[in-house]
Amino acid sequence: TGQKFSGSLIDGITIARCSSVPDNVEDETAGCIHFADEFTNRYGGCHPEFFPGSLDEAVKEACLRPAKDRRLLAVYLHHDGSVLSNVFCTQLLGFESVLQCLNAHFVVWGWDLTHESNRHK
C-alpha cells in the first residue's frame, strides 16, 4: 500500500505499526484524517476530537468566527521517536478532565512529525 511501518520493541517482540501520517503525504487534509484514524487505532477512542482538515482550516474554524463562537487552537505534534509519546497520549490526552476541556474550548489539530518530509507542510 506504500505505507511505511515503524516498529517498537516491547519485551523482545517487535510490533509493527502504521505511520500516523504517511511519508511525503501530498494532501494535508487526508493526512490529518489518517492521523486521527491511526491515533484511534493505537490509543483507543478516548482522545480529543482532532480537526479533520488542514492547519489553515483549523485556524479559520477556531479564530475566524463571531466572538461568542471562537475557540482556542491546540496543536498536537506527534513523533514516534519520542520516548514519552505513548505516555502522553494515553495518560494525558486520555484523561477525562483534559478531554472535556479540550473538546469544549479548543479546536484540536494533530500532525505527525516522525517523517522528515512531513515537517515542512
| Strand pairing class (5-10; 13-18) | antiparallel
Beta bridge partners of 9: 14
pLDDT above 70 for 111: yes
Pick 21-120's CATH classification: 3.40.50.300, 3.40.1080.10, 3.40.30.10, 3.40.190.10. Answer: 3.40.30.10
What per-residue confidence (pLDDT) applies to 121? Answer: 65
Nearest C-alpha neighbor of 74 from the set 89, 88, 86, 62 = 62
pLDDT tens-digit readout, 32-67: 999 999 999 999 999 999 999 999 999 999 999 999
Residue 4: per-residue pLDDT: 42
Q: Report CA Rg, the chain.
A: 15
pLDDT digits (tens, 9 = 90+) for 65-87: 999 999 999 999 999 999 899 99
Four-point Cα dihedral 24, 31, 63, 49, nearest 10: -150
DSSP annotation string for 10-29: ETTEEEEEE-SS-TT-S-HH
Q: Where are the domains of the chain?
A: 21-120
